[in-house]
């Protein structure tokens, strides 16, 4: 390809809203252009790299035995009503209506579509397992899209779904996809960290994320330096620790009844610790949370018996409820864990007026003792506490000598704490450290969440109808492309991996004329005949402009042809500082060797 036949439009400066390297470089190199907030279009140079990422994903999944499909992006709302997610998916899901007034969905994910499509032809156990995938456009109405294609509203996803007869088969499908993922990311030149993760709104268990380390990552990774334990902070667990008193000794049970004490103008845990001359571990911190679309059964909780409960397909959920979450005073609540435990679409701290209504006191005086207006959820850390202090459900009042289990009984006890560096690994007891990361891929075992609600069955060997179980596997294609740039760039621009570069080689003549033109054309023809992807920069531009564009766009190999060096040409790798002078007659074979050796390394 010659530059005069191609669209190259680079920018000297980054747009003001581009704050991370990949966003800046994709805009400056002309890979993408912005159409609207969170909406980016791929230009020809960017599309070439995007298609290469897709090709590698497709090849590895095909090699693993997965079957590609192409569901529609617009889906009937009835499918989402069947699954029970029509009202629980949240505001990120765009719900248009067609001209006939039928509810539709702009696909944010495809569990419903794949389940419906497989359901139509599934009749016998002999057809299982099935693992089908798509590489397709999705839309999520992100409230704050940012970082270019790293977190846009419209994006491209590879998502795959396995349908299996039993847990053993699901485990095999899961492992097959996990191995394919590792091959994909190796070929792309990405070093990934595999971490335990939260399944979020998709549900299920057995979850694993493939992360890349990034200073601007959206995720915090909790890592063990000894045994290799790795988890997203949303999912991470730690070794339980025993609550200690102000002297550092394990807390001891008390026979004293809980007692009301005045605590005028004392609201925060730190202020209370100073006021009572004790430590923060002696307090049970109670937070009131508003819960949206929870499907956990609250029918036996007295204060929830009159709560609005909605049936959606075969599922029930509470559109709005409130819970009182108790945790040791030195710890914080992990809202992702809490959301998962409550089987909700969202949890958030309750508004002040709701806190006052539920606790009958101002903010800062909530506690589990005598709590009658919301079910009490206790973090596991509360289980080891004794002789504790809690809010007294009155202004300027707290309770002392509180014994969990004696003075209050929680509706649920669960791990809902935020794990932080310094906590201990649950596997080996070593101290955790953390890194920032970006999620590229996510795999998890769904079980029968969708096949059951959408009435998918097949006949087993005895002729009885059985519900299959599912796995779900996703890769963010745009995000993966941006992550390659995040991990491979310098001050001058992108440094593409050989497998994903828009062109593997750029030939840059000082001037495309005379003997330089003849040398360029000869080398171009030789390389393209050997299957090398070459861009010949035949533009009538100053050499400095061409060199700057080549570095910005990031071609792995740059060949400079000038009349002063001929019959030698200058060959420089983008990843290296120095160039080499090579005779023109030898340059073609040398460049072919460089390209193929690097591809072999990535593909090996």
Q: What is the CATH number of the domain that holds 313?
A: 3.90.960.10
**What pLDDT is recorded for position 198?**
57
Query: What's the Cα-to-Cα distance from 246 to each of 54, 261, 384, rounded to whole Å?
Result: 57, 19, 15
| CA separation for the pair 173, 129 (Å, rounded) | 8
- Report if residue 326 sits inside a domain: yes
**What pLDDT is recorded for position 600?**
97
Same domain, 294 and 207: no
- Report if residue 523 sits inside a domain: yes
Q: What is the CATH number of the domain that holds 560?
A: 3.40.50.800
**What pLDDT is recorded for position 315?**
77
- Report if residue 425 sits inside a domain: no
- Report if residue 423 sits inside a domain: no
Of 414, 448, 465, the residue at which a domain comes to its end is 414
Query: Residues of the chain whose pLDDT is less than 70?
Result: 197-205, 313
DSSP string, 343-386: T-SEEEEPPHHHHHHHHSS-TT---STT--SS-EEEEGGGGG--
Surface-to-core class of residue 367, CB atoms within 10 Å of its CB (0-12 exposed, 13-18 middle, 19+ buried): buried
Same domain, 395 and 530: no
**What pLDDT is recorded for position 559?**
98
Please tell me whether residue 431 adopts helix, strand or coil conformation: strand
Report the largest interatomic distance among the alpha carbons of the chain, rounded to a whole angstrom: 99
> Would you say 355 and 366 are in contact if contact means Cβ atoms under 8 Å apart?
yes
**What pLDDT is recorded for position 205?**
55
Same domain, 476 and 520: no
Write out pLDDT tens, residues 103-128.
999 999 999 999 999 999 999 999 99
**What pLDDT is recorded for position 214?**
86
Of 414, 444, 467, the residue at which a domain comes to its end is 414
Same domain, 79 and 223: yes
**What pLDDT is recorded for position 201?**
44
* Token pair in block for residue 589: 């074979």
DSSP string, 211-264: EEE-TT-SEEEEE-TTT--EEETTT--------B-TTSSBP----SPPEEEE-T
Same domain, 224 and 95: yes
Q: What is the CATH number of the domain that holds 20?
A: 3.30.930.10
Same domain, 476 and 499: no
Same domain, 471 and 537: no
> Would you say 563 and 572 are in contact if contact means Cβ atoms under 8 Å apart?
no
**What pLDDT is recorded for position 549?**
96
Same domain, 54 and 167: yes
Same domain, 370 and 446: no
- Report if residue 397 sits inside a domain: yes
With a pLDDT cut of 70, the percent of the chain lying above it is 98
Q: Give the number of domains in the chain.
A: 3
Nearest partner of 114 among 75, 78, 168, 170, judged by Cα? 75
Write out pLDDT tens, residues 334-348.
999 999 999 998 999
* Token pair in block for residue 60: 């590895």
- Report if residue 548 sits inside a domain: yes
End-to-end Cα, the chain, rounded Å: 29
- Report if residue 246 sits inside a domain: no
Contacts of 248 (CB under 8 A, 6+ apart): none
Same domain, 372 and 507: no
CB atoms within 10 A of CB 330: 17
- Report if residue 272 sits inside a domain: yes
Of 354, 385, 414, the residue at which a domain comes to its end is 414
Structural domain boundaries enclosing 448:
15-236+434-485
Same domain, 212 and 325: no
């Amino acid at each position: 390809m010659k530059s005069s036949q191609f669209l190259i439009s680079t920018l000297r400066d980054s747009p003001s809203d581009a704050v991370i390297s990949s966003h800046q470089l994709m805009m400056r190199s002309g890979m993408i252009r912005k159409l609207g907030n969170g909406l980016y279009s791929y230009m020809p140079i960017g599309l070439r790299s995007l298609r290469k990422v897709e090709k590698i994903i497709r090849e590895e999944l095909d090699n693993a035995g997965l079957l590609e499909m192409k569901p529609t992006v617009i889906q009937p709302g009835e499918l989402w009503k069947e699954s029970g997610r029509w009202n629980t998916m949240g505001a990120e899901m765009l719900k248009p209506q067609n001209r006939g007034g039928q509810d539709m969905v702009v696909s944010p994910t495809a569990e419903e579509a794949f389940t419906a499509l497989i359901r139509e032809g599934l009749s016998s156990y002999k057809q299982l397992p099935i693992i089908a995938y798509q590489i397709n456009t999705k839309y999520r109405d992100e409230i704050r899209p940012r970082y270019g294609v790293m977190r846009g509203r419209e994006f491209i996803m590879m998502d795959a779904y396995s349908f299996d007869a039993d847990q053993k088969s699901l485990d095999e499908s899961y492992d097959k996809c996990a191995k394919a993922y590792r091959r994909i990311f190796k070929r792309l030149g990405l070093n990934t960290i595999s971490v335990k993760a939260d399944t979020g709104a998709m549900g299920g268990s057995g979850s694993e994320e493939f992360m890349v380390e990034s200073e601007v990552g959206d995720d915090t990774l909790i890592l063990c330096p000894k045994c290799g334990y790795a988890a997203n902070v949303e999912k991470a667990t730690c070794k339980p620790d025993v609550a200690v008193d102000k002297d550092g000794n394990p807390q001891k049970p008390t026979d004293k009844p809980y007692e009301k004490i005045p605590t005028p103008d004392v609201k925060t845990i730190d202020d209370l610790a100073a006021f009572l001359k004790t430590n923060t571990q002696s307090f049970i911190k109670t937070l009131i949370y508003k819960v949206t679309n929870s499907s956990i059964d609250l029918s036996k909780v007295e204060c929830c018996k009159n709560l609005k409960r909605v049936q959606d397909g075969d599922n029930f959920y509470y559109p709005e409820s409130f819970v009182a979450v108790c945790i040791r005073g030195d710890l914080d609540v992990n809202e992702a864990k809490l959301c998962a435990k409550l089987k909700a679409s969202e949890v958030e701290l309750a508004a002040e007026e709701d806190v006052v209504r539920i606790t009958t006191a101002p903010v800062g005086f909530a506690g589990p003792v005598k709590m009658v207006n919301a079910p009490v959820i206790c973090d596991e850390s509360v289980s080891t506490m004794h002789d504790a202090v809690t809010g007294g459900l009155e202004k300027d009042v707290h309770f002392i000598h509180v014994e969990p289990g004696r003075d209050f009984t929680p509706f649920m006890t669960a791990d809902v704490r935020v794990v932080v560096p310094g906590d201990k690994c649950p596997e080996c007891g070593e101290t955790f450290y953390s890194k920032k990361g970006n999620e590229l891929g996510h795999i998890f075992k769904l079980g029968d969440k969708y096949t059951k609600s959408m009435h998918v069955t097949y006949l087993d060997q005895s002729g009885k109808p059985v519900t299959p179980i599912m796995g779900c596997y996703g890769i963010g294609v745009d995000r993966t492309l941006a992550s390659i740039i995040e991990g491979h760039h310098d001050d001058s621009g992108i440094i593409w991996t050989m497998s994903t570069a828009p062109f593997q080689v750029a030939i840059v003549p000082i001037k495309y004329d005379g003997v330089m033109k003849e040398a360029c054309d000869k080398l171009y023809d030789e390389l393209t005949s050997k299957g090398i992807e070459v861009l010949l920069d035949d533009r009538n531009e100053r050499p400095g402009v061409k060199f700057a564009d080549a570095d910005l766009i990031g071609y792995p190999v740059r060949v400079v042809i000038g009349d002063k060096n001929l019959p030698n040409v200058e060959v420089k790798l983008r990843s290296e500082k120095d160039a080499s002078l090579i005779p023109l007659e030898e340059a073609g074979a040398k460049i072919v060797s460089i390209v193929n050796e690097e591809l072999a390394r990535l593909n090996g």
